Structure 1
Amino acid sequence: MSKTQEIVKKITGYHLFWPLFCLVIVLLFNLIKTPTFFDITIQNGVLYGYLIDVLNRSSELIILAVGMTLVVAASGGTDISVGAVSAFAGAVCIFALGTGETYQIPYIFGVLLAVLIGALCGAWNGFLVAKMKIQPMVATLILFTAGRGIAQLITGGNILYVKVDSFKRLGAFLPGVPIPTPIFIAVIVVIVTSLILKKTALGLYIQSVGINAKAAKLVGLNATVIQFLSYVFCGLCAGIAGLIITSRIYSIDANNAGLNIELDAILAVALGGNSLGGGKFSIAGSVIGAITIQALTTSLYAMKVTADQLPVYKAIVVIIIVALQSPELKKWMKHMRVKNSTQNVERVVEQ
């Protein structure tokens, strides 16, 4: 093997290479098709541009992807209820705060209530998966179905609006700060989660349980508790995402809030190079995957693709991206390289 081949193998072997490669491909495509994609301007004291919009709009998806990563790693399954839980948490928050000119309760209590609802929903999912041993998709299907229904009961089937301007700051801008608030929230969630996983043994425990729960029990790990906590954390992330979603439009529409975002969260985990079968995981990879999905969505909108056509183009690109990361494709490419090398050696020998 030549030195160049060794360098290429080392680079492509880096665990974040393919997620970063896919993101770069999407960005380079924009450089060709939409040159203004990289323009950033300041209007009314805040930053505007496609790149800012990508980071801003991907914030709740990043938060959900972080929670989904731990769930997938610990249980080898996905939580398909996070979109409905986000709507549920947002509905509870707005209902508690009220729709008058002033808040019925202090704003911070409304925020804490939404986060608590998300954590309780996660605890319910965790109980079904970790304790009752129900398959994750089946267990979370309950709240996937009932979550929006409960939110509809809370709102009376209506769209509730918040008339207090301060409610918008969580999903827009803080006074005097040019960067959208959701970006700060996403960064905080990622940093806090990463520190907890790296500074404690929790990250290692999650990987151990995800790889082999029975073996983890033999070395003294409580697989039930670890899986349960993973789902609680995922629900907590869904509650935070619900606050951002409702704050962006200062209202709650239980039918559409966070609709289908759970699919993008699962896809972000997959694009980040994480195995959906559980075990080893990468928070950074999931974050890159979430940004890639939003960059793709924003790119298609920038190219005047309509909302009803968007899923078709998005699906095609996602298939290509996932195929590039497929282990079978990598094996096939390696086999072809070895075959070509063998043929070249044979030609040299014959000559």
Structure 2
Amino acid sequence: MTILKNRLFWPAVILVALLVVNMFTSNQFLTIRDGHLFGTLIDILRGSAPLMLVALGMTLVIATGGIDLSVGSVMAISGAVACLLISDLGDQNAVLPVLAIMAIAIGMSLLLGLWNGTLVAVVGIQPIIATLILMVAGRGLAQLITDGQIINVRSGPYATIATGFFLALPVAFLIAAVAVVLTVVLTRRTALGLLLESVGGSPTASRLAGIRSRRITMMVYVVAGGFAGLAGLIYSANIKSADSIAAGNLIELDAILAVVIGGTALIGGRFSIAGTVLGALIIQALTVTVVAVGVPSKATLLFKAVVVVALCLSQSTTFREKVFGRLKPRPATRAEVPA
């Protein structure tokens, strides 16, 4: 069947299976309270927002044949800048100043993305090395901004982006959904998506064809930095503080995993925004599920690894042919056909 050959079929099956498990293991899977939706499903949607944003930017970077290991550090810097400036406000509940501070934090994240893009596209440093520089230095910069301390804030407007609701849905998830829609429109309704795949598939051929690959490469790193900065704001708003050590720690690995689960090729070229969203939801649902089923904390990472390996094997065409191909009836030879 055609649907079974779709690369997103098995990830969707895994996500549905995880949700079904949560339906029977959680006390409240989906309820309405005070006009808002609550429960495990909403927790998954809200918790997946930062990862979804980071993975979205990572998808565009990987589509051009690059990689960005600095997204976690950019998250830490963005949250540190926002919380530091908000803590200095006389009235932390003033909406316009808080929005301005958020814009400053995202602007700084865009500049950090521009730094990565310049090192990769202009200087010619390998993406893994260029972003590794900011991955290490950025975490130190975040600690310098906070002076090595955890900065707490008590801003209602700032907390809204992480814990607020709009139209009964979490604001954090709605922010991520808007980012996804805009990305889909720009990459699938314009020539931008084709240009990204061209640069990632063959940089030399795209350059000979007149495509300005340097500009496109710089652009995707800037976008990845902006999305990571926005994710950092949501993370810090959720805990109402700036933790430069824990914020975005190892999220780049989950983002790459979400991209791979979604079917985007790590060598560049083909990419799938819908697959990335599905991958982010699977990772968050898996995180929630291991707690719901009572898996010991020491075995949590191993349990997640087993599920991910099973998912990746299910997506492998070669693996499915070797396993399920043997189960198909072998055609009878001429000697076996009765006279």
Aligned with residue 224 of structure 1, among 214, 227, 230: 214
Structure 1 residue 181: Cα displacement? 0.8
Q: How does 1:54-203 map to 2 (within 5 A)?
A: 54-75=44-65, 77-99=66-88, 102-103=91-92, 106-174=97-165, 177-203=167-193
Q: How does 1:244-283 map to 2 (within 5 A)?
A: 244-283=234-273
* Residue 99 to residue 305, structure 1, CA distance change in 2 (3 Å): farther
Contact 2:80 2:244 in 1 (8 A): yes
Contact 1:65 1:266 in 2 (8 A): yes
Contact 2:7 2:315 in 1 (8 A): no
Contact 1:22 1:321 in 2 (8 A): yes
Q: Distance in 2 between matches of 1:348 and 1:107?
A: 80
Structure 1 residue 227: Cα displacement? 1.1
* Residue 330 to residue 223, structure 1, CA distance change in 2 (3 Å): farther
2:295 counterpart residue number? 305
Q: Distance in 1 between matches of 2:338 and 2:187?
A: 57
Q: How does 1:17-36 map to 2 (within 5 A)?
A: 17-30=9-22, 34-36=24-26
Q: Deviations over 1:303-338 (max 9, x none)?
A: 12344432121111111111211243134247536x
Contact 2:26 2:292 in 1 (8 A): no
> Secondary structure of the residue that 2:32 maps to in structure 1?
strand
Structure 2 residue runs of 5 or longer lacking an equivalent are none
Contact 1:99 1:162 in 2 (8 A): no
Q: Distance in 1 between matches of 2:205 and 2:74?
A: 33
1:5 counterpart residue number? none
1:41 counterpart residue number? 31
Structure 1 residue 26: Cα displacement? 2.6
Q: Distance in 2 between matches of 1:107 and 1:128?
A: 32
1:238 counterpart residue number? 228
1:349 counterpart residue number? 337
Q: Distance in 1 between matches of 2:19 and 2:53?
A: 22
Q: TM-score, normalised by structure 1?
A: 0.89
1:319 counterpart residue number? 309
Contact 2:25 2:292 in 1 (8 A): no
Q: Distance in 2 between matches of 1:329 and 1:348?
A: 29
1:3 counterpart residue number? none
Moved more, 326-335 or 270-279: 326-335
* Residue 334 to residue 145, structure 1, CA distance change in 2 (3 Å): same
> Secondary structure of the residue that 1:42 maps to in structure 2?
strand
* Residue 120 to residue 347, structure 1, CA distance change in 2 (3 Å): farther
Structure 1 residue runs of 5 or longer lacking an equivalent are 1-7
Letter in structure 1 aligned against 2:8: L
Letter in structure 2 aligned against 1:27: L
Q: Deviations over 1:1-52 (max 9, x none)?
A: xxxxxxx2x1122242232233233334445xx3447731123443211111
Q: Cα RMSD between the aligned structures? A: 2.2
Q: TM-score, normalised by structure 2?
A: 0.92
Contact 1:170 1:181 in 2 (8 A): yes
> Secondary structure of the residue that 1:294 maps to in structure 2?
helix
> Secondary structure of the residue that 1:349 maps to in structure 2?
coil
